[in-house]
Structure 1
Amino acid sequence: MKRKAPQYAALSYCWGSPSDSATQFKTEKGTLANRITGFSLDSMTQVMRDAVAVTKALSISYIWIDALCIVQDDRVDWERESTTMADVYRQAYITICTPGSSSCHQGFLERKPKSIVIPFKSSITPEAKGSYNVRIGGRAMASNPIAEGMDLTYDELTHDHSSWSQRAWTFQEAVLSTRTLHFGSFELAYQCPEHIRSEAGQSSYPSEIDVGIFNDLVSNAPARHAMWNELMSRYTPRHLTYETDRLPAVSGLARIMGRGPKDYYAGLWRQSLVVDLCWVRHVDDIGPTDTKYELLRLLDANKPSYIAPSWSWAVRRQSFEHLIDVNDYRDETHSVAASTTPQGLDPFGQVKDGLLTIRGVVVTLPSDIVHDPPEGARRSLLHHKYVHEKDRRIAQVSLDWWMQDPEDKGELLMLLLTSHLYPFEGLHRRVRVGFGIILHPSKTQGRYVRVGAFMTDRYGFGLFQRSSYQTVEII
């Protein structure tokens, strides 16, 4: 007779500050034997005790809590356990999420909603007196003046305004779980693939990447690719105690993409590599402190805290978007070869180096980059920065640092990767538009780092048609 798997709940929460984390109840090698024999609830931190109480109320016999399952003082054991995270959350009957708690010592069941106390005394019967307790409800947003200083709603807590929603390690826990209970400071909400229902009586529908993802995408490669890029763009702005965990914190998601580790290069995929390389940082995430000097320092492949190669979005903690869709492109390279070396046991986790070798058309950036927006243009992803050749605008350029006006072209190169036909207004035929990346010499002789991306304009593709192929190495 086939044994039925036990039904269990999982807990997604924040450990809190370094001082709180240091006092977290966890299983280490020195305490493993005692933990196996049993332990009292009083020895656990408050967020764990609350999770146990919820599990009991749901009549669920088991709960998975990471601090109890991972031997924290052994990196090898940590890596081995962290590779199972995707399965833990996907197979859980329900996941308890705690956006109303910012520390392992802060519970989420005892709520104290903000309210206004209004004294009352009857003018008819003087002895009848007391007070009203008034608090805001429903979906009032914090941006609304009437709601300023009041409790945050489910949407705000789960997307922007809680430690839980800003931590990188909680991201894949939330999107992989098929059912979630979100305990906010103001209200409780239940979410599954069909709907979201809140304690305040509101009901809505989740997006396809909010919960239980990848269920129907195994055979649909383009949809799976689009979902991966959307998820990673949401993920990259999130906070980590150690930036070197940027890739390990989504290794569970990468593992269930339906492709093997030989197809995975620090967040990018072999099957769509020329498209995946054409990403740009979102303009709202680049500020005056993001200088060229700071970027080149971050991309130094010899620094001790190596995160990812320069051509991976993972090396920067900002959201990004792609310039071209995977369904509509022509590969303009002769060959592309990528490789990364895992830092430890997980082939989808931290890497210690990476190399991209491309044989393609490379040209020197023909002019300084200038701010030259078309008349009536709106603020765009590319910030309307352009390069020219012979007084003709040939390309829109987005660098990964805060661009000056004009931006000195210096030693920058343009490497063409892909193209498609674009219908320019006023023309009866479509014009081929090219996409590629901007390169800067690295500290290693003969190799480059990726520092931006470009899209050619109406006359720009011809610049590459007049040039020949050459091989470049990007680290």
Structure 2
Amino acid sequence: MQPMHESPAPPLRGNCRLTLSRTERIDQEKTPLPARLVKIHLLNKTVSLTLEETNGRCGKYIALTHRWDNSTQSSRTTKANYACQRRQCKHHTSHPDPPSEISFCPQTNEFPTLYRDVGLMARHLGIEYLWIDSLCIVQDDRQDWKTESAGMADYYQRAWLTIASTTTTKEGGLFGIKLNPEDLPPVVRLPFRDRSGEQKGYFYVQAYEPSETENDYSKAVVNFNLRTRGWGFQEFKLSRRLLTFSKRGAYMMCRTKIPENLRGDTAVTQAVLFKMTDSLHHILYIWSNFMEQYCAFDFTEFEKDRLVALGGVAHEFKRALRCAVDITADEEIYFAYGHWIIPTAQKGTISGLFWQEAETEKDLGKYERVRAMGVPTWSWASMALRGRDNAGNITGLEVQWYSTKREYRDLKDEIVCGIKGFSAIPPEQIGSSYTMPDDDGAFFIPEPEYSNHSTLRVLELRGKVIQVSIHGYFPKDEDKNIATNLTYRLPKTAPARSTWRRVTTGGSFIIGWASLEHPEHHLPPCSSAQPPVSVYAFFARRPPTIIGGHGWGNWTNYQTAFEVLVLREFRGPQYYERIGMGRLFGNDIEGLYAAAEDADVFLI
């Protein structure tokens, strides 16, 4: 049997060489290495790790995604211990017996068990280098952090393999995870007899239930807190091959295959495998699906890191959008605050604005809704939750889109507004004293594109606006069912109905529903009797062929609803902030829409 560290590495599957956008095939033998890697030394089954500068070399390495703990903090690389981590300090000594390349520095803290276990596994796979963020980035060097964090997405995408520590031992390692016998299907021993009927021995049978594999994977990997760590999102999404762990063993997945364990049992879980296509609307559908996962993730520095940690995935999506069949070569594509702004692809851009607060398993009584600093109100990233306890930790508000594949590919949806401009201006200039550019092509976004910005982005829209009144929640499920049937072609797909509130034009006749996320307009659950709030509805999209026309006296049984953004004025005429979204229906709304005049709306 070959020694562990000399075992040949298994070959990559063909499409596992593709990047997330499927626009580049990575040559693993010629992959540029990160600026630093951790070299793995193995002597008598003892693992030693040394930080090494790569100096522009190419090769293979394994990346680690994990959640930091106290041992991570104590062993991280800093300016003070940089020479010690590289074993180029005056303290280090060589291994005495026998002499070897392994050296030790008494001034450095022992590396976590997890790092050593990953190193042992890497050598077993024939790989001698690791990329671990806490070791390969100088943590107290602001310039080094800025440079290396910008490359993290690429490091994970170009890694030969990413190991995710989704399940660890009590000591934090990967090996020796204790398994409860109750977690395994029972094994039955049956006698084995030859043709004459004489017993020759026994054989063993173990039941296999596919749902057990799926449940194990979901519990250990999909729902594990590593997946809710904001920076871990890009690490999972960009890694071309991913090795994860549960108490029952390991799971492997890649770009082209759903997760499977070492026995080959697959874990078919919802949205675990997706494929980029050459369709603009399908790419945007995948993006909205990703954002529904990402919006509620946690960050140590929420407002500083939330959008930056999305940059690597956004870069790949931009490459995919650039190759979409319905995008011309010189098409302008902008990414800002978690949204795609494509001036000539109005449907895709407008669809992205129709996010709403999602139903959640969080105890919302423990949080208060707040606006995230520096993010325009039209973005889902503008909303957050702050804990009501003394710590006051901030986390994301869960949002969702009415994002069925059918909606994103249905070209019958009529856009009834337009995007005229997208400008960056300091927030203090917004108001009656500030004039937006007259040029209809006023699209501007400064670099770096995927970073936080010091200025707000104002969307200049052109469309029709009417004044409406927002009341309390629908008091009965029956009322919500009626509103659903009158505003959705596919009623069963209507999302988050518990957040819907009644909309009128001033009287008692209901003409639609609205979901409001703004902190000042949030109501406790079941608040149906509330004084009306006067706001504005901006008509954006008209989904056709909705059943219910006979009820309005129409010749056919079809009637039209409108999707609207719910707005309130901000500092002066024409300037608005988003407070929610909704849908309006009925012949009265048709009349109000027809009578309204087009106006410029500056959405901050």
1:341 to 1:32, Cα distance in 2 relative to 1, 3 A: farther
One-letter code of the match for 1:35? Q
Q: Name which of 156, 164, 176 aligns with 1:110.
A: 176
One-letter code of the match for 1:362? V
Could you give the per-residue CA deviations for residues 398-423 of structure 1, whole angstroms, max 9, x where no partner exists?
A: 11134531344334222222222132
Q: How does 1:157-172 map to 2 (within 5 A)?
A: 157-160=220-223, 162-172=224-234
1:473 to 1:102, Cα distance in 2 relative to 1, 3 A: farther
Q: Using the alignment, how far apart are the partners of 2:121 and 2:243 within structure 1?
A: 10
Higher relative contact order (CA 8 A, sep 6+): 1
User: Does 2:458 match 1:351?
Assistant: no
Question: 1:289 offset after TM fit, Å?
Answer: 3.6
Q: How does 1:372-391 map to 2 (within 5 A)?
A: 373-374=477-478, 377=481, 381-383=496-498, 384-389=500-505, 390-391=507-508
Q: How does 1:264-279 map to 2 (within 5 A)?
A: 264-271=335-342, 272-279=348-355
Secondary structure (helix, strand or coil) at the match of 2:497 reads coil
Aligned to 1:314: 381
Aligned to 1:364: 467
Q: Using the alignment, how far apart are the partners of 1:71 and 1:344 within structure 2?
A: 28
Q: Using the alignment, how far apart are the partners of 1:194 and 1:334 within structure 2?
A: 41
Aligned to 2:248: 186
Aligned to 1:4: 30
| 8 Å CA contact retained: 1:338, 1:355 | yes
1:75 to 1:326, Cα distance in 2 relative to 1, 3 A: farther
| 8 Å CA contact retained: 2:418, 2:463 | yes
Question: 1:60 offset after TM fit, Å?
Answer: 1.4
One-letter code of the match for 1:253? V
Secondary structure (helix, strand or coil) at the match of 1:412 reads strand
Q: Name which of 147, 152, 158 aligns with 1:80.
A: 147
Aligned to 1:467: 596
Q: Using the alignment, how far apart are the partners of 1:102 and 1:409 within structure 2?
A: 56
Question: 1:456 offset after TM fit, Å?
Answer: 1.5
Q: Using the alignment, how far apart are the partners of 2:300 and 2:397 within structure 1?
A: 16
| 8 Å CA contact retained: 2:376, 2:456 | yes
Q: Using the alignment, how far apart are the partners of 2:381 and 2:167 within structure 1?
A: 28
Q: How does 1:134-283 map to 2 (within 5 A)?
A: 153-160=216-223, 162-192=224-254, 193-199=256-262, 202-205=265-268, 210=272, 216-217=276-277, 219-244=278-303, 245-257=305-317, 258=319, 263-271=334-342, 272-283=348-359
1:290 to 1:275, Cα distance in 2 relative to 1, 3 A: farther
Q: Using the alignment, how far apart are the partners of 1:243 and 1:387 within structure 2?
A: 34
Aligned to 2:325: none
Aligned to 1:412: 535
1:307 to 1:166, Cα distance in 2 relative to 1, 3 A: farther
| 8 Å CA contact retained: 1:323, 1:455 | no
Aligned to 1:333: 417
Could you give the per-residue CA deviations for residues 191-239 of structure 1, whole angstroms, max 9, x where no partner exists?
A: 12224222476324566x536x66x43x322211111110110111222
Secondary structure (helix, strand or coil) at the match of 2:543 reads strand
Q: Using the alignment, how far apart are the partners of 1:265 and 1:141 within structure 2?
A: 41
Aligned to 2:135: 68
Question: 1:256 offset after TM fit, Å?
Answer: 0.9
Aligned to 1:396: 513
| 8 Å CA contact retained: 2:333, 2:340 | no
Could you give the per-residue CA deviations for residues 152-206 of structure 1, whole angstroms, max 9, x where no partner exists?
A: 822211111x221221211221122221111223321111222422247632456
Q: Using the alignment, how far apart are the partners of 1:445 and 1:318 within structure 2?
A: 28
Structure 2 residues not aligned, in runs of 5+: 1-27, 32-58, 89-102, 183-206, 323-331, 343-347, 384-395, 427-444, 482-491, 551-555
Aligned to 2:95: none
TM-score, normalising length from structure 1?
0.78
Could you give the per-residue CA deviations for residues 32-51 of structure 1, whole angstroms, max 9, x where no partner exists?
A: 34434467597322221111
Q: Percent sequence identity over matched residues? A: 21
Structure 1 residues not aligned, in runs of 5+: 117-135, 144-151, 300-304
Question: 1:90 offset after TM fit, Å?
Answer: 2.0
One-letter code of the match for 1:281? E
One-letter code of the match for 1:4? K
**When the two structures are aligned, how many residues end up with a matched partner?**
430
- Which protein has the larger Cα radius of gyration, Structure 1 or Structure 2? 2
| 8 Å CA contact retained: 1:167, 1:240 | yes
Question: 1:336 offset after TM fit, Å?
Answer: 3.9
